Amino acid sequence: MRLLVYGDASPASGGWCYAETLRDMGHEVLRFPDDRTLEHYRSSLPRRFYRKLFRKIWESDRRRHLHLLQEEVRRFRPEIIIILKGLHLTATDVHLLRRAGHWVCNVNHDDFFSANRNNWSPIQRQAIPAYDFIFTTREVNVEEVRPFNPNVEFFPFACYPRIHKPEPIPSQECQLWNVDAVFVGTYESPRAKLLEQLVQTVPAKYAVHGAQWHRLKPGSALRQYLGLPDLRFERLARALGGAKLALGFLRKENRDDYTQRTFEIPACNGLLLAERTARHARYYREGIEAEFFDPGSPEELCQKVTDLLKASERRERIRQAGHEAVLRGRHTYRDRLERLLEVYESTRRKRLHPVSQ
């Protein structure tokens, strides 16, 4: 089967993992980056200002981008087009792709109705009814999307076993990865405050990797623990698995109750210490396969870290049980894509053999 994956195509991104997994499954795949022809929105100050102000790109740029996508679709002739987020595609654009005979679905790794205006666009929301199917990684979105498109279901995040796996650490890199506690993720003020309280309360060897941590206040106690701004492939696996415990924070603006790290950390043989949510509790047994804390209680976070760092045998039991749980739970990109293809086949059968009224 031929599939086109439209979206972030950077190495180890979600779009990259979907495309690579489909190839692993024996399909023919074309990746179309959602920033193709739009790279100047990173370098052009007027374009960056326009996008920030109006939450869209110049229409002439969007049409040029769409034209190239349509050309690639005509050349490649995919049966399925997977649109990741689709910030630049209108309802008319999606209808045109469908009328050409393609099954077009949207897989959104962000919240369609996020308080963070960077995570959605007006035309993306307006296009919701146009898709054959909507797969959302936020369960809260399902009932919100249903009035606009009844063909919607929860589609959880996943891990990719070629990347997210126990990764041996070379002896010369032990100093970098073998820390007491690690956090890998983008800067956010609530995360920084919790981490600052943690490092000031519990003496230990910490590491914080990820983007935008330069936004920390000049005198922040976290600055001495800042590591690499971007971790991918074996470096990510070594960071998550090499630490005695790996922290999992959520984004409140995205209404997170779990994240990709929920699966990636145990898959890399890391010990997950995450914010306590009902969803996390469904995936892992607290104290047995993972540990959780109340984000409103820095005291609990500090106590959990203190207790875990003192109990090496308990840590290893939780680490091993968590790794087994994520493998047993079928949380890989292949598992997700098998479901997507099931939905495609089901809807295709209904079209070919409609039920008589």
Residue 46 to residue 221: CA distance in whole angstroms: 37
- Give the model's pLDDT for residue 349: 77
Grade residue 123 by pLDDT with cuts at 50, 70 and 90.
Answer: very high
Residue 163 to residue 252: CA distance in whole angstroms: 27
Question: At which residue do the structure tokens 């306590």 appear?
Answer: 276
**Can you give the residue ranges of every domain in the chain?**
2-158+332-352, 171-328
- Give the model's pLDDT for residue 352: 66
- Give the model's pLDDT for residue 45: 83
Residue 176 to residue 236: CA distance in whole angstroms: 12
- Give the model's pLDDT for residue 273: 98
Q: Is the pLDDT of residue 49 over 80?
A: no
The domain made up of 171-328 has a fold known as Rossmann fold (3.40.50)
CATH number assigned to the domain with residue range 2-158+332-352, chosen from the 4 options 3.30.70.141, 3.40.718.10, 3.40.50.2000, 3.30.300.340: 3.40.50.2000
Phi and psi angles of residue 302, each rounded to the nearest 5 degrees, phi first: -60, -40
- Mean of the pLDDT values across residues 214-224? 95
Residue 259 to residue 265: CA distance in whole angstroms: 10
Residue 100 to residue 273: CA distance in whole angstroms: 48
* Model confidence pLDDT, tens digit, residues 246-303: 999 999 889 999 999 999 999 999 999 999 999 999 999 999 999 999 999 999 999 9
Q: Residue 336 — left, alpha, or beta (φ > 0 → left; ψ -120 to 50 → alpha)?
A: alpha
Q: Is 62 helix (H, G, I), strand (E, B) or coil?
A: helix
Q: Is the pLDDT of residue 357 over 50?
A: no
Residue 240 to residue 323: CA distance in whole angstroms: 12
Q: Are strands 80-84 and 2-7 parallel, antiparallel or unpaired?
A: parallel
**Beta-carbon contacts of residue 271 (< 8 Å; ≥ 6 apart):** 243, 244, 245, 246, 265, 290, 291, 308, 315, 318, 319, 322
- Give the model's pLDDT for residue 222: 97
**Residue 342: is it exposed, middle or buried by C-beta count within 10 angstroms (0-12/13-18/19+)?**
exposed
* Model confidence pLDDT, tens digit, residues 174-212: 999 999 999 999 999 999 999 999 999 999 999 999 999
Q: Is the pLDDT of residue 117 over 90?
A: no
- Give the model's pLDDT for residue 356: 46
- State both tokens at 56: 């869209």
- Asked if 233 and 12 touch (Cβ cutoff 8 Å), the reply is yes
Grade residue 82 by pLDDT with cuts at 50, 70 and 90.
Answer: very high
Give the global pTM.
0.94
